[in-house]
Chain A
Amino acid sequence: MSDFAIELKGIDKSFGLVRANKDINLSVRKGTIHGIIGENGAGKSTLMSILYGFYQADDGDIFIDGEKTVIKDPNAAIASGIGMVHQHFMLVENFTVLENIMLGAEESQILTAGIAKARDELRRLEDEYELEVDPDAIIEELPVGLQQRVEILKALYRGAEILILDEPTGVLTPAEADHLFRILEQLKSEGKTIVLITHKLREIMAVTDEVSVMRRGEMVATRTTSETSVEELAELMVGRRVLLQVDKGPATPGDVLLAVEGLTVRDSRGVDMVKDVSFEVRAGEIVGIAGVAGNGQSELLQAITGIRRGTKGRVLLNGEPIRVTGHADPAELRHRGLAHVPEDRQHMGLVLKFDESENSILGYHDDPKYLNGLFLNIDAIRKDAADKIEKYDIRPPNPRLKTANFSGGNQQKIVLAREMERDPPVLVIGQPTRGVDVGAIEFIHKRIIEMRDAGKAVLLVSVELDEIRSLADRVLVMFDGRVVGERSPETGEGELGLLMAGVEDAKEAAQ
């Protein structure tokens, strides 16, 4: 027996020329919740994949419960009592909960006996850890919070003593996240060891006992959570001081530049995703739309920007109506001064196989300054791209590099540079910092505030409540396709969280 559930000594791992993990040492105490934080690409996931047997370390040793262990595949990890809850759930969506839990642990060739046993065992686990879930429900019909619970049950069913959770709260509402943390506490009290990987500092502070920080493939520090601070951890992660609070003065709203009146959007299944939504965005203000993902924000954005057809209502850009219910034309909207940073940059904002310079003019490629008669003026485009690269600190600074080779944060900067440098009067931004690391978030937030201060109307949609609260001048909360409330950004997180969960009289409930 050892005090440590996991000890990693000198773990090294390279992919081609990239050293993802450099001489990593990590000790996780038994029966604790141990956080691992770091920016995207810091090597957290690689390290955990090594622990779970997805990859073999090039060098170094793994000790589980004091014993040197070779983990050559996930089977070996499961046998050593390691369970993993992946960021993207590893569930078969059209299987039942029971089938998912049994998969790989069926006991015998014919399922019948195993099913009965799994059912009993599942009931026992549910009672013990308060993890209720209907064993016969189909996964794709469950909300994500419950799907995650199935992932946890899967690990426990296989007898996991060590549970690794990779970015578990990314898809959860604040309430669901709180519930998850209560479950983790419960598991801890039963003697399980939990490793929590996240880039959200607040979560680390809330639930972990100890925290290790990774930066560029190295383990730079381990702290006892109660003896550290958010500021110190952020600095350790990024390697320099980071402004966590956005610096902004009061807004000076001017004319209404974007007005949405009674907009309803029906999706292809005939379900109304946006229901009779009305609001205005004035010059010089940022209106934030908060809400749990999937409550109509995406459809709203798409209808305003002409990507999706609305069923009813009007949208006025600069006082002039745009064709919302007919065949809208995103290109025309661009020319009329509505710039759009789409929620999903990899699918809608960029063509990943294009060069950086090609993406930096996407949608504006018919601008005469990029053209040479019928042909593209490649030199002008590259020159233009190089200017944006410098201004937005896009790295690596190479306009000819394939866009797929840039990190998430830099890809987002490419999109922002393209849209913001047109100097549009109206800017619609979806999820500006999804999957973007702390250093780049700071930069992007600054630029958005600058746009506001330059008198632009900014509509911001984000599932990160913190982001909405720190950037927006007014906050609209969407739930089930409706705007269920408007609040000032100073409103407490509890009240906004309840609004996001559809509790209309959130103020009283929060008290």
Chain B
Amino acid sequence: MEYFDTLIVILQSTVRVSVPLILAALAGLYSERSGIFDIGLEGKMLAAAFAGGAAAAVTGSALIGLGAAILVSVFLALVHAFASITQRGNQIVSGVAINFIALGATVILGQAWFRQGGRTPQLGEGARFSTVELPFAAEIANVPILGPIYSNLLSGHFLLTYLAFALVPFTWWVLYRTRFGLRLRAVGENPGAVDTAGISVTWMRYRAVICCGILCGIAGAYLSMAMTAGFVKGMTAGKGFIALAALIFAKWKPVNVMFACLLFGFLDAMSIRMQGNELPLIGEVPVQFMQALPYVLTVVLLAGFIGKAIPPKAGGVPYVKER
């Protein structure tokens, strides 16, 4: 039973740390499927986390915080869109610029406004998201096996967590069953086909990038207003890049994205759990090694185990009408 409880704890924490990855990776999916590479997921998430934390701290309302997070993230997404769609600039450069702007601006503004070394004030009840207990969670908690799974693993998460997992099938449905999805996939593969079919390539791509902004906004809000209670500088800690890796790992497919993010989340949860514990045969493993493990595995997995990941064919290339 002890191992089972440990497993439940690890899985629970897997879900918790996977949520921002799933949201960010889905955000990237919308953008990249439309042909706009987005290396700025990290920056958008960070800026959103700050905006959410700051707005919630000032107004005391989680919803206003979420709104502010989405607003700021969409604004940055639009900057990226303007640079890479309208101005046909380099998408990587634009994405990197957004990461740096977010990294710097959050610290400077945080210090100027709150004077807590780049943090936002601790959020109280009401200003942050609270967890949701599923019906009868307490009643069946003591049922063996199923009880802990239901009460501890499925119940007791934030609304945003359920939203993130619901977005996975929703995104699949949007991509493969709606007109928007058909055009989105087409514009990332052959914008010429979309253009000659009488659809605006520019508008399609802007819409995709806005979707990306909204999801990054939610991911950021989750970080500063649900997972923790307040913004800490650099709190995304590479999650945007891990999400990007998961997206490639998942070959740009929504359901695969979820599993890839859960895998990376699981490695992360394991590394937290294993810190300070002795492993059989090996003995105590340095904390740094465990922390590095998800990244090492990412490299290994991406380098060898997933076969060829073929990105959307028109990805990264600004659309210019032919002669």
Contacts and interface: CB of A to CB of B under 8 A. Distances in A.
15 contacts: A54-B321, A73-B198, A90-B190, A90-B193, A90-B196, A93-B189, A100-B193, A102-B182, A104-B183, A104-B197, A105-B197, A108-B179, A109-B179, A110-B177, A111-B178
Given A46-B323, A110-B178, A92 B195 contact: no
Interface residues of B, number: 22
B207 interface: no
Nearest to A101: B197
Interface in B172-194: 177-180, 182-183, 185-186, 189-190, 192-194
Given A91-B190, A95-B185, A103-B182, A75 B198 contact: yes
B179 A92 contact: no
B179 A99 contact: no
B90 to A, nearest CB: 17
A109 B197 contact: no
A74 B185 contact: no
Contacts of A88: 192, 322
Contact of A112 (B177, B189, B197): B177
Interface string B124-163: 0000000000000000000000000000000000000000
Contacts of B182: 99, 102-103, 106, 111
Nearest to B313: A93
Q: Among B185, B186, B196, which residue has the most Cβ atoms of chain A within 10 A?
A: B196
B190 A104 contact: no
A189 interface: no
Contacts of A73: 198
A94 B197 contact: no
A178 B321 CA distance: 31
Given A93-B313, A99-B182, A109-B180, A86 B198 contact: no
Nearest to B173: A110
A104 B178 contact: no
Contacts, number: 73
A84 B178 CA distance: 26
A94 B323 contact: no
A172 interface: no
Interface in A11-68: 45-46, 49, 52, 54
A93 B190 contact: yes
A54 to B, nearest CB: 6
B196 A111 contact: no
A45 B323 contact: yes
A99 B185 CA distance: 11
B199 interface: yes
A381 to B, nearest CB: 32
A49 B182 CA distance: 25
Interface of B: 177-180, 182-183, 185-186, 189-190, 192-199, 313, 321-323
A106 B179 contact: yes
A110 B198 contact: no
A110 B179 contact: yes
Nearest to B181: A111
B323 A103 contact: no
Q: Which among A75, A88, A106 has the highest number of chain B CB atoms within 10 Å?
A: A106
Contacts of B178: 109-111
Nearest to B190: A92
Nearest to B312: A94
A78 B198 contact: yes
A103 B180 contact: no
Nearest to A89: B193
Contacts of B199: 103-104
Contacts of B313: 93-94
Interface in A137-178: 154
Contacts of A108: 179
Interface string A93-127: 11100011011111011111010000000000000
Contacts of B179: 106, 108-111, 114
Given A109-B179, A110-B178, A112-B177, A91 B193 contact: yes
B186 A103 contact: yes
Given A74-B198, A104-B198, A111-B178, A95 B321 contact: no
Most buried by B among A86, A92, A94: A92
Contacts of B322: 88
B321 A104 contact: no
A94 B177 contact: no
Contacts of A105: 197
Nearest to A100: B193
A141 B194 CA distance: 20
Q: Pick the 10 closest A-B CB pairs, nearest first.
A: A104-B197, A75-B198, A90-B193, A106-B179, A74-B198, A90-B196, A92-B189, A92-B186, A92-B190, A90-B192
